[in-house]
Structure 1
C-alpha cells in the first residue's frame, strides 16, 4: 500500500511494507508504513524532519497515525534500552525494582539528563511491573533482533 504524499507530512524515505514486519502484529496490523519526511508542523522558513507511523483502517488513512520528531524517536530508543538493562537485573528485587530508589538512570542529554524511573505514582505498580516484565521477556527475541540490527548499523556508521 502506497503512503500518501498529498497530506501535511511530506514523506522522503519510506518503508511501505511495514505491516509485514510490525513485530508480533506482522501481517495483522493497521500500521501499514513508516516514513521520514518533512514534518506536518513546519512553519514557513523552518524545516523539521519527523518520523511517522502510517495507520490505515481498511477504508482510509487514520487520524491515529503518529508523527514524532527524530530526536524523540531516539529518546524512546534510549528509554527502551535502559529499561531492558534494568529488567535483566530486576529479579534481584522483591518487587522488580528498589522502592527506596525508583530512578533507574539519568541519561545525559543536551546539558541536562533524562530521568529513567519506575512510575511509583501508579497505584498498581507492583502488579503492573510484573506484567510488564513478563511481556518484555516474551518479546525478548523480537526486540533483541532489532537491537542487534541497530547496533550493527550504528557500528557501521562509526558510532
Structure 2
C-alpha cells in the first residue's frame, strides 16, 4: 500500500521530504515536483479519481509529468478509493490536518460555499495541494471537478531528481 505521510501544522516540526518513488531521494534539478490535491465524496471510485487527475495533468499541459504525491484531508486519507489511487500511481498519500488545510486555504483561488462551510477553506483540493507542496508551492491548476471528486495541482519547492 502507498504510505500515508502527515503534513505539519504551521509552527511544528518540518514535514518529511516528498518521496519520489521507492528508494529515490530528491536531487536539485528542474522541473518542480507536482502534488495533486484531491477532494472526493464517499462513493467516489479510484478510477474516477485517476481519470480526473489525468484530465488535470492534460489541462495543465503536463500529461507526462512526474507526480510526487497525492494529498487529501487527514480524515479522508484512509478511504479505500484514495489509497488505491495512490497505490496505482506508486506515490505517497499525504494526509493534511485541519490547521494545515486552513493555513494553505489562504492561498486558494477557488471558493465553494459548501466546502467553505464544511471545511473552512474555499477548495479542499487546492488547499491540500498547496499544503503538501510546502510554503513555496504554487498552484499549477486550480480545482477541476468530476461528479464525485475535485483535483488541483501544485508545484512544490522541491525539484525532481533525474
Same fold (TM over 0.5): no
Q: Which has the higher contact order (CA 8 A, sep 6+)?
A: 2
TM value normalised by structure 1: 0.28
Q: Which has the higher helix share?
A: 1
**Higher Rg of the two aligned structures:** 1
